[in-house]
Structure 1
Amino acid sequence: MVVDLRKVAAASGVSLSTASRALSGSGRVSAATRERVRQVAEDLGYRPNALARGLRTNHSRLIGLVITNLVNASLHVIAEVVHDRLKASGYHLVLCITGDDAGEERAYVETLRDHNVDGVLVVGSDDEAVQSLRETDIPAIHLARRPRRPAGDCVLGADIEGAREATRYLLGLSHQRIAVVAGPPAVTSGYERLAGHRLALDEAGVPYRDDLVFQGPLEPAWGAEAAARMLALPEGRRPTAVLVTNHEAAFGLLPALRERGVRIPGELSVLCYEDADMLRWWDPGITVMDNNAARMGDLAVSLLLDRIVANPGSTGQTPTEYRVGAQLVIRQSCVIAES
């Protein structure tokens, strides 16, 4: 049976308002009454309504994390880091998974607003959802994706430089035909990582080939399809190396290559953007450009908590863009191309 404040007041022999003040520690109630009401509440198993308390104090101690999926190991790491940092700071995390659906993103943002959250971290860029955040006084931080008109600071990867360095590494191994499996161009990491790849090719004087670029949805199924398309190319045009720019595609491409008997790195060198346990454990271990997901999550929480403490409202503040650098981790999946 749910015990509400009225039952606590009645059992304590005080008014509803006095019971409320006593449990909030108000100095307008004597110490003896505060202790009596507190003891009765404890004996009855009373738990205060956090939402109602948040509406009164303007602090709910809730932080929303709106995220596209947990298939991507980087997003999984970010969610864990955010949870641990918020817990240590006395906040509770409300996790919202959109499935990369714009309608879901809008719905979750509205729900978080209705529940008076103290702040929002968003992996997403739907214009209507961002506009909804801009119209509130809720501090917001954008993670991994930069919307056209941010509602708050943006914490992004140094994706152009990271992909540029990854391609340079493959070029340094004498690979001239490098395929790229990338996310959709509307996603920040999708177009920036492809842009970094193209910059490295231009610097090396290697032609950019549209038939070696496979852009698609952030899904393992797309990685498997991209593998099939690569292998369907004529032998003289087939890539000797592939840069996979997101986990979702990598988790589909690698099993597909194994099922087709493609030897890594003997027939195809593979370099993946973003690290994950699966890539470390794969046989052979997959060389990666680690995007430092934990650092991104940690920085995003720090920025959000600073905004909450310094100024509860995000409206009117000029957003700042932060970039977290990537690091090449060399394993066994890339070798010098045969001449």
Structure 2
Amino acid sequence: MAEKINIQDIARLANVSTGTVSRALNNKPDVNPETRERILRIVEEQGYVPSSTAIGLVSGRSRLISVLVPALTWPLVSELMLKVAEIVEASSYEIVLYSISSSNHLRDCGKVIDRILATRMTAGLLAIFPGQSAQHLTQLQRHSFPVVLVDDQNPPIEGIPWIGADNRGGAYEATRYLIGLGHQRIACIQGPMKYKVSNDRYQGYKDALQEAGIPLDPALVLEGDFMPVGGNKCARTLLTLPKAERPTAIFAQSDLMAYGVMSAASEFGLSIPKDISLVGFDDNPSSAHMQPALTTIQQPFGAMGQQAIELLLQLIEQPRLYYQGPYENKRQILSEHAPRIQLPTSLMIRDTCRKLPKRVSHTSYRHKQAMSG
């Protein structure tokens, strides 16, 4: 019977309604303690595993949450999803995972949104780094469907709660760290400039140079693709400059591009950090294990995942915190109060940077010679 038992069987054995079983399993306060204990004892005796879908159908409310992610091989997804799964596991909800391919992300995302609206199988959507597909999320927003966006590639969408990292502040900190080590010819390998994240990190780089009074050299700013191939290609261009014009340090806007810089330096017979210093951005799991270990800016992926899923659960469970007024005005009211959360980054100092030796000027040298004479 354990394999076939359902919520109706539990209700019959406990002599209560299926709605009472649902409330007891979801730990709702409006269930008599003795009744709850009887239901839970029968559940244990029968080996019943409750289905979130079944409970949702009985209670008239879905217990599933959609999570939209880019390709699962993307290294930035795992830490964020681990925290999301941890929070959901402690709730009465379960996750329905949708992965969109990099080649057909617009088409795939559109299909997911259409399916969500058609079936109403899930109670809300957490969209993680949807890229250009974020434009489809406005369709859900127009239907007052709870959505939270974790993104760094597009400006926040009006009316949709948004969580991201302080990319500009992180890039500023990376560049300022290199300046503090005595570097002035600091190259910046950008991500694709069609993305907001690339522009934000470039602005942080410029902020640090301007603060230090270092002129921006356009020859040291190249556009990559966030991938190792792009980092390698840009590094080759920088390293073929005349020695006096080469950068002494490179800020790569992603760890993957920093890996490409490492391989290019090796091909040119250069040592990191002896010949050139390097800072990345993201703190991928493998960055601490590179040879040498990569100095980088750590994005708070765990905290981003936690705050995003907690916010989505609040939107679902306590909509009055965000929606105020008649139902038909939900979009307008949420647009005015949709949270925008930007989390700070951290500089992870490892082994790919070195302090430049101070140069002795000719004036100082002649002064020392006179003093010794």
Q: Give the whole-Å Cα distance in 2 for the aligned partners of 1:106 and 1:210.
A: 39
1:130–1:147: 8 Å Cα contact kept in structure 2? no
Q: Shift of the alpha carbon at 1:109?
A: 3.0
* Distance change >3 Å, CA 290–CA 249, structure 1 → 2: same
Match of 1:98 in 2: 100
Secondary structure of the 1:206 match is coil
Given the alignment of the two structures, is residue 110 of structure 1 paired with residue 114 of structure 2, yes or no?
Answer: yes
Of 301-310 and 108-117, the range deviating more from structure 2? 108-117
Match of 1:32 in 2: none
2:52–2:93: 8 Å Cα contact kept in structure 1? no
* Distance change >3 Å, CA 75–CA 261, structure 1 → 2: farther
Please provide the CA RMSD for this pair.
Answer: 3.7
Q: Shift of the alpha carbon at 1:71?
A: 4.9
Match of 1:198 in 2: 206
Q: Give the whole-Å Cα distance in 2 for the aligned partners of 1:166 and 1:328.
A: 7
Number of equivalent positions = 326
Of 161-170 and 50-59, the range deviating more from structure 2? 50-59
* Distance change >3 Å, CA 225–CA 151, structure 1 → 2: farther
Per-residue CA deviations over 1:146-198 (Å, capped at 9, x if unaligned) read 54524421111111111111111111112112112222223332211111101
2:258–2:279: 8 Å Cα contact kept in structure 1? no
Secondary structure of the 1:280 match is helix
1:140–1:151: 8 Å Cα contact kept in structure 2? no
Q: Shift of the alpha carbon at 1:319?
A: 1.3
What amino acid sits opposite 2:344 in the alignment?
Answer: G
Kindly report which structure 2 residues correspond to 1:260-339, keeping only aligned pairs within 5 A, or say none: 260-311=268-319, 315=331, 316-317=333-334, 318-337=337-356
Per-residue CA deviations over 1:37-90 (Å, capped at 9, x if unaligned) read xx9xx98x9988755754564432222222234455433211111111111223
Q: Give the whole-Å Cα distance in 1 for the aligned partners of 2:258 and 2:345.
A: 18
* Distance change >3 Å, CA 21–CA 292, structure 1 → 2: closer
Match of 2:248 in 1: 240
Q: 1:187 aligns with which of 185, 191, 195?
A: 195
Given the alignment of the two structures, is residue 220 of structure 1 paired with residue 238 of structure 2, yes or no?
Answer: no
Structure 1 gaps of 5+ residues are 13-17, 27-34
Q: Give the whole-Å Cα distance in 2 for the aligned partners of 1:24 and 1:309.
A: 16
Given the alignment of the two structures, is residue 124 of structure 1 paired with residue 126 of structure 2, yes or no?
Answer: no
TM-score, scaled to structure 1: 0.80
Identity in percent: 27
Q: Give the whole-Å Cα distance in 1 for the aligned partners of 2:217 and 2:77.
A: 31
1:220–1:249: 8 Å Cα contact kept in structure 2? yes
What amino acid sits opposite 1:141 in the alignment?
Answer: V
* Distance change >3 Å, CA 285–CA 46, structure 1 → 2: closer
Q: Give the whole-Å Cα distance in 1 for the aligned partners of 2:339 and 2:23.
A: 39
What amino acid sits opposite 2:297 in the alignment?
Answer: M
Q: Shift of the alpha carbon at 1:226?
A: 2.3
Per-residue CA deviations over 1:121-141 (Å, capped at 9, x if unaligned) read 222253531211212232111
What amino acid sits opposite 1:66 in the alignment?
Answer: L
Secondary structure of the 1:277 match is coil
What amino acid sits opposite 1:215 in the alignment?
Answer: E
What amino acid sits opposite 1:133 in the alignment?
Answer: L
* Distance change >3 Å, CA 242–CA 25, structure 1 → 2: closer
Match of 1:156 in 2: 164
Given the alignment of the two structures, is residue 170 of structure 1 paired with residue 189 of structure 2, yes or no?
Answer: no
* Distance change >3 Å, CA 83–CA 127, structure 1 → 2: closer
Q: Give the whole-Å Cα distance in 2 for the aligned partners of 1:285 and 1:69.
A: 26
Q: Give the whole-Å Cα distance in 1 for the aligned partners of 2:227 and 2:267.
A: 18
Q: Give the whole-Å Cα distance in 2 for the aligned partners of 1:257 and 1:206.
A: 25
Q: Give the whole-Å Cα distance in 2 for the aligned partners of 1:136 and 1:268.
A: 53
* Distance change >3 Å, CA 49–CA 82, structure 1 → 2: closer
What amino acid sits opposite 2:301 in the alignment?
Answer: A
Q: Give the whole-Å Cα distance in 2 for the aligned partners of 1:91 and 1:335.
A: 49
Q: Give the whole-Å Cα distance in 2 for the aligned partners of 1:56 and 1:135.
A: 27
Of 64-73 and 202-211, the range deviating more from structure 2? 64-73
* Higher Rg: 2
1:78–1:296: 8 Å Cα contact kept in structure 2? yes
2:172–2:207: 8 Å Cα contact kept in structure 1? yes
Secondary structure of the 2:162 match is strand
Per-residue CA deviations over 1:230-276 (Å, capped at 9, x if unaligned) read 22333232221111222342344434434544311011101111223
Per-residue CA deviations over 1:198-252 (Å, capped at 9, x if unaligned) read 1111111212223322323333332232222322333232221111222342344
Secondary structure of the 2:110 match is helix
Greater relative contact order (CA < 8 Å, ≥ 6 in sequence):
1
What amino acid sits opposite 1:241 in the alignment?
Answer: A
2:232–2:264: 8 Å Cα contact kept in structure 1? yes
What amino acid sits opposite 1:67 in the alignment?
Answer: V
Q: Give the whole-Å Cα distance in 2 for the aligned partners of 1:68 and 1:127.
A: 12
Match of 2:66 in 1: 64
* Distance change >3 Å, CA 173–CA 79, structure 1 → 2: same
Q: Give the whole-Å Cα distance in 1 for the aligned partners of 2:23 and 2:285.
A: 48
TM-score, scaled to structure 2: 0.73
Of 162-171 and 250-259, the range deviating more from structure 2? 250-259
Q: Shift of the alpha carbon at 1:4?
A: 10
